[in-house]
Amino acid sequence: MKNSAELEKEAVLMTANHMAAAARTAPKTRGTDNIEIIVIDDEDTKKRLIAKMLEIAKKETRPSFERDANSIAASFAIVAVGAASNPSGLNCGYCGYPTCDALKKSKGVCAYNSIDLGIAVASAISIAGQFHIDNRVMYSIGRAALDLKLFGIGVNQALGIPLSATGKNPYFDRK
């Protein structure tokens, strides 16, 4: 027999896997897949992530990072989605540079990579919603994950989605 807490944790972990699949199969601009997905489901990595978020909060005077770090402490899993820098080759100027070569020299971010990140995250959170799993998109998690180098080489933007199944959503019902 399993109790409610065990079942809820299993549901969150199963949902995280489905979210990763949804992010992977989400439509991509130009048909190029620059998306990387990780699921943080172990306490050691989660503690390192929280510590990094608290460090950023203090070092850069960003109280929202501390608030977010405190709210993810009880999360069963965190899905993080990153996008690697890969200029489109279209020389569209959406990034603010006249050419993709100019963007590459600046080490900036291609607008299409940002669009792909948004589409992938939206696909992932739609799955969390379908399974009634508490979640919230947090850039603070993505920033800390990048600082900790949890993603592969080339990923330069990311967002995190903490997951919980409790009586009150810890990511919205907070101070």
- The set of residues, in sequence order, having a beta carbon less than 8 Å from that of 172 and lying 6+ positions away, is 136
Residue pair 164/133 in contact (Cβ under 8 Å)? The answer is yes
pLDDT of residue 30: 86
Residue pair 160/59 in contact (Cβ under 8 Å)? The answer is no
Kindly report which listed range (56-60, 88-92, 115-119, 148-152) carries the lowest average pLDDT score: 88-92
**What is the model's pTM?**
0.94
Instruction: Give tens-digit pLDDT for 11-37.
Output: 999 999 999 999 999 999 988 899 999
Largest CA distance in the chain: 62
Instruction: Give tens-digit pLDDT for 133-153.
Output: 999 999 999 999 999 999 988
Flag whether pLDDT at 102 surpasses 80.
Answer: yes
Beta bridge partners, 82, equal: 36, 158
Q: Which domains does the chain have, with CATH numbers?
A: 4-164 (3.40.109.10)
